[in-house]
């Protein structure tokens, strides 16, 4: 493990690296920055990583063809590199997917510390009103620790069954009605329904949602403020998913666990809980994949050591104690193993035990590369003779599964203003830049109309662009920048007729057609 004392011993070299980072003078290498949750910034070399090595890492990301949205690398408690691929940016919330589970597990850890429950409490204890008439031996044996370690004993993940509960039926009742076919604790099976139940238990014992419960205990000590967490119809946070927060807060969370639960001299989470949550509680493979190195309490263990909070499509807070490092990533990766492998194979070997010599040229190059990270919208034709003919016309849409009534296209100031109408609902207006992103004023409502409903059933700022594929085909490209995903809509005009062809971003990345039907309409 890198020796922190080597950095203190070499602190006299610190001032040599401050030419490009003058504001860093207040953060000396020998100071106790690792205990502060106002994350300090540093040059990579000051923390034992070469700027050229991080540039190499960025190039590997580019070559991987995985769509990163943000990146933050921490070493010895300092942010040494951070970047957002425009139109994503630092101030916006990121969709965590199953990275949310680690926050749910943390809420349980805090409740344990407060004496509200123990990991050996049986689940049936908390929901007597929802128990089936016959309680099987396996259900009676099911404990909180089994929910935490994904060893419930179900035959398959229960989350879809919970979501399909009949109207008015509590999800807890559905969960408890499912057969526990294996002895709890005997085998691993990833089960998002288990994480929901942990969230439900928090609300049961505290009277607060997990989100409310965490606010004074976790969020406030870490200065986490810009968060949302979706709930089911009962007002229970989803637990398994639906939490959103900015990238830096994801990094702070990982740094807290790296510091064994300490923040600013305060034990925010007990060191004992951190040790349990980050230790192998159950085997889940034979070290034959990035997910086969064991599972803790709502954390995965990493192949090179340490552990991580892990969400679909590449949302990570990687904690690497051997390297005294945290790596936070948000992305829309269709190969999350490849995303992690870049960290293991390219970034970690660049981490050294000693302070590195200053390399101003490499630092300048790295800063330029980080600032230049972006995704350009499709570069299409900027004009069509059809624009003048369709401008302002309302296209009434045939009956469709999206309940969309009509669409209108207006062209002004180099932008295309797209208006979508539904019966009895406010209009949705999205301003699209010609071959460039426009964000101001654009909002995707939650679970609404043409927008994909695939786990992005919450609102989001929209970065939107448009261009002409040919004289009769207009393409709208939208990135929902507070979610992982996006959409494009190809609008084909034929006289007074319109055909709208949707394409979800995951399908685009996988080279597959969208499963949403085309929408047809006619100008009035």
Dihedral sign from CA coordinates of 214, 219, 225, 229: negative
3, HSE (Cβ side, Cα atoms, 13 Å): 6
Segments in 65-191 forming alpha helices (H) = 100-113, 137-141, 144-148, 159-163, 171-177
β-strand partners of 501:
490
Indicate whether 411 and 504 sit together in one domain.
Answer: yes
pLDDT along the chain (524 residues), means of 10: 37 33 32 54 98 98 96 98 98 96 98 98 98 97 98 97 96 98 97 98 98 98 96 97 97 98 95 98 86 96 97 98 98 96 97 96 98 97 96 96 92 95 89 97 77 72 97 97 95 97 93 92 96
* Neighbouring residues of 512: CB distance < 8 A, sequence distance ≥ 6: none
Last residue of a domain, one of 347, 371, 395: 371
- For β-strands 460-470 and 443-444, DSSP reports them as antiparallel
Residue 299 in domain: no
Q: How many domains does the chain have?
A: 3
Q: Quick one: which of 295, 309, 310, 271 has its CA closest to 185?
A: 295
pLDDT of residue 10: 37
Residue 231 in domain: no
Indicate whether 111 and 155 sit together in one domain.
Answer: yes
Last residue of a domain, one of 322, 339, 371: 371
Residue 232 in domain: no
Peptide bond into 87 cis (omega under 30): yes
pLDDT of residue 264: 87
> In Å, how far are 98, 239, 310 from 218, measured between CA atoms?
18, 16, 19
Indicate whether 75 and 196 sit together in one domain.
Answer: no
Q: Are 74 and 326 in contact (CB under 8 A)?
A: yes
Residue 233 in domain: no
Three-class secondary structure assignment of 338-364: HHHHHHHHHHHHHECCCCCCCCHHHHH
Indicate whether 361 and 396 sit together in one domain.
Answer: no
Classify burial at 63, counting beta carbons within 10 Å of its beta carbon; exposed 0-12, middle 13-18, buried 19 or more.
exposed
The pair of structure tokens assigned to 466 is: 């448009």
Domain hosting 449: range is: 386-523
Indicate whether 55 and 152 sit together in one domain.
Answer: no
CA distance linking residue 489 with residue 90, whole number of Å:
27
Indicate whether 461 and 509 sit together in one domain.
Answer: yes
Indicate whether 257 and 132 sit together in one domain.
Answer: no
Indicate whether 26 and 154 sit together in one domain.
Answer: no
CA distance linking residue 171 with residue 193, whole number of Å:
9
Indicate whether 348 and 402 sit together in one domain.
Answer: no
The pair of structure tokens assigned to 462 is: 């929209």
Last residue of a domain, one of 202, 219, 236: 219
Residue 291 in domain: no
CA-CA-CA-CA dihedral for 183, 184, 188, 190, to nearest 10: 120
Residue 119 in domain: yes
Residue 504: which CATH number?
2.40.128.20
β-strand partners of 431:
417
Of all helices (H) and strands (E), which one includes residue 250? helix 247-258
Residue 178 in domain: yes
Indicate whether 62 and 153 sit together in one domain.
Answer: no
Three-class secondary structure assignment of 309-337: EEECCCEEEEEEHHHCEEEEEEEECCCHH
pLDDT of residue 318: 98
Residue 32 in domain: yes
């Amino acid at each position: 493990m890198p020796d922190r004392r080597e950095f203190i011993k070499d602190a006299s070299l610190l001032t040599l690296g401050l030419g490009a980072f003058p504001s860093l003078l207040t953060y000396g290498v020998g100071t106790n920055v690792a205990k502060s949750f106002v994350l300090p910034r540093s040059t990579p070399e000051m923390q034992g990583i070469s700027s050229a090595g991080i540039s190499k890492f960025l190039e590997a990301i580019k070559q991987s063809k995985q769509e990163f949205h943000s990146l933050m690398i921490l070493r010895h408690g300092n942010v040494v590199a951070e970047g957002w691929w425009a139109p994503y940016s630092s101030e916006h919330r990121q969709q965590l997917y199953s990275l949310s589970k680690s926050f749910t597990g943390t809420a349980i850890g805090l409740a344990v510390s407060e004496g509200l429950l123990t990991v050996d409490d049986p689940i049936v204890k908390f929901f007597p009103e929802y128990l089936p008439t016959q309680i099987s031996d396996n259900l009676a044996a099911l404990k909180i620790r089994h929910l935490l370690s994904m060893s419930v004993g179900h035959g398959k993940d229960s989350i879809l069954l919970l979501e399909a509960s009949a109207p008015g039926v509590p999800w807890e009742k559905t969960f408890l009605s499912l057969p526990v076919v294996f002895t709890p604790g005997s085998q691993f099976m990833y089960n998002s329904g288990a994480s929901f139940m942990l969230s439900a238990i928090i609300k049961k014992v505290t009277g607060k949602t997990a989100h409310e419960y965490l606010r004074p205990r976790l969020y406030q000590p870490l200065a986490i403020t810009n968060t949302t967490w979706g709930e089911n119809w009962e007002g229970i946070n989803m637990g398994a998913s639906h939490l959103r927060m900015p990238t830096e807060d994801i990094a702070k969370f990982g740094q807290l666990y790296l510091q064994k639960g300490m923040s600013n001299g305060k034990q925010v989470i007990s060191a004992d809980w951190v040790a349990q949550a980050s230790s192998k509680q159950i085997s889940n493979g034979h070290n034959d994949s990035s997910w086969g190195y064991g599972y803790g309490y709502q954390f995965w263990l990493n192949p090179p050591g340490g552990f991580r909070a892990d969400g679909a499509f590449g949302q990570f807070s990687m904690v690497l104690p051997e390297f005294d490092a945290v790596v936070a990533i948000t992305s829309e990766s269709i190969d999350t193993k490849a995303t992690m492998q870049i960290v293991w194979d390219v970034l970690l070997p660049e981490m050294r035990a000693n302070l590195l010599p200053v390399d101003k040229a490499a630092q300048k190059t790295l800063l330029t590369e980080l600032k230049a990270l972006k995704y350009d919208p499709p570069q299409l034709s900027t004009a069509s003779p059809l624009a003048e003919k369709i401008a302002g016309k309302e296209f009434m849409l045939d009956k469709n599964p999206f309940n969309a009534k009509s669409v209108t296209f207006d062209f002004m100031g180099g932008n295309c203003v797209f208006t979508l109408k539904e019966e009895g609902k406010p209009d949705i207006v999205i301003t699209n830049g010609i071959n460039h992103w426009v964000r101001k004023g654009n909002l995707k409502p939650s679970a609404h109309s043409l927008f994909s409903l695939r786990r992005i059933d919450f609102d989001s700022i929209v970065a939107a662009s448009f261009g002409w594929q040919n004289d009769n085909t207009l393409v709208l490209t939208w990135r929902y920048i507070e979610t992982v995903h996006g959409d494009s809509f190809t609008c084909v005009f034929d006289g007074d007729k319109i055909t709208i062809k949707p394409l979800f971003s995951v399908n685009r990345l996988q080279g597959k057609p969208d499963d949403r039907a085309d929408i047809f309409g006619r100008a009035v």
